[in-house]
Amino acid sequence: MRVLIVEDEVRMANVIKRSLTREGLATDVANGGLQAIAMATVVSYDAIVLDVMLPDTSGFETCQVLRERGVWSPVLMLTAREAVEDRVAGLDSGADDYLVKPFALAELHARLRSLVRRGRPERPAVLSVGSLRLDPARREVYRGETRVELSAKEFALLEALMHRPGEVLTRLELIEQAWDFAYENRSNVIDVYIRRLRRKLDEPFGTNSLETVRSVGYRLSEDQ
């Protein structure tokens, strides 16, 4: 079993490395997010221990990029504090479990064993509503055969709508699903993004799938 340890603090990385080696695991160390991405796309690791605080690109971003590139090794994220936001951000970015620093090495071993037993997470299924298709793993959206480029936020909003086709979602529900909790809670931001999505996904194709439900929110339906 081969594990990638992603941690810039040399002392911490060495402590983890020594303890995993004693457990009979093969280990590699990356001291930043970019190096981790380069290594994990080449080697198929059985698990990745990923620190959130990295000098170049955060653990959250690193995990997200790994998933976008189709790397599905289980990720155990090391967070600095037991903050709900950190936990949610970690799981959102595609991590499988998290451990709060400081932790006991025995717990790290137990969590890793359990992650590896669970196996690789399933690749998330491609969503489709009418002629719209969204691939969460590849971060791609198609209207029919045409690839449509969306920003990260447009993508997140569309993904939220595509998970519940035909249902009315309120602006608040959409904000909660597409933005992190730190985001300023202004509902008109949703209206702006819905307009952008219509310009990209409906207008060029003569469809009308993003429906405004007056004073409630929005609904995505099959093309009309």
Helix axes 59-68, 84-92, angle to 10 degrees: 20
Q: What residue type is 171 in one-letter code?
A: R
129: closest CA among 153, 164, 154, 157?
A: 164
| Minimal distance, residue 27 CB to Ca ion, in Å | 17
| Minimal distance, residue 164 CB to Ca ion, in Å | 38
Residue 188, Cβ neighbours under 10 Å: how many? Answer: 8
Name which of 47 and 52 has its Cβ closer to Ca ion. 52
Name which of 77 and 162 has its Cβ closer to Ca ion. 77
Name which of 36 and 141 has its Cβ closer to Ca ion. 36
Q: Residue 224 is inside which H or E element, if any? A: none
| Minimal distance, residue 91 CB to Ca ion, in Å | 19
Name which of 9 and 222 has its Cβ closer to Ca ion. 9
Structure token pair of residue 14: 């060495």
Tell me the HSE value of 150 on the side-chain side, using a 13 A CA sphere: 30
| Minimal distance, residue 176 CB to Ca ion, in Å | 29
Residue 32 is classified by DSSP as S
- 154 vs 192: CA distance, rounded Å: 10
Question: Residue 167, class by beta-carbon neighbours within 10 Å (0-12 exposed, 13-18 middle, 19+ buried)?
Answer: middle
| Minimal distance, residue 54 CB to Ca ion, in Å | 6
Question: Using CB under 5 A as the criterion, which residues of the chain lie in contact with Ca ion when the complex forms?
Answer: 8-9, 51, 53
| Minimal distance, residue 123 CB to Ca ion, in Å | 29
Name which of 89 and 148 has its Cβ closer to Ca ion. 89
Name which of 8 and 223 has its Cβ closer to Ca ion. 8
Residue 8 is classified by DSSP as S
* Bridge partners, residue 30, by sequence: 6
- 44 vs 3: CA distance, rounded Å: 9
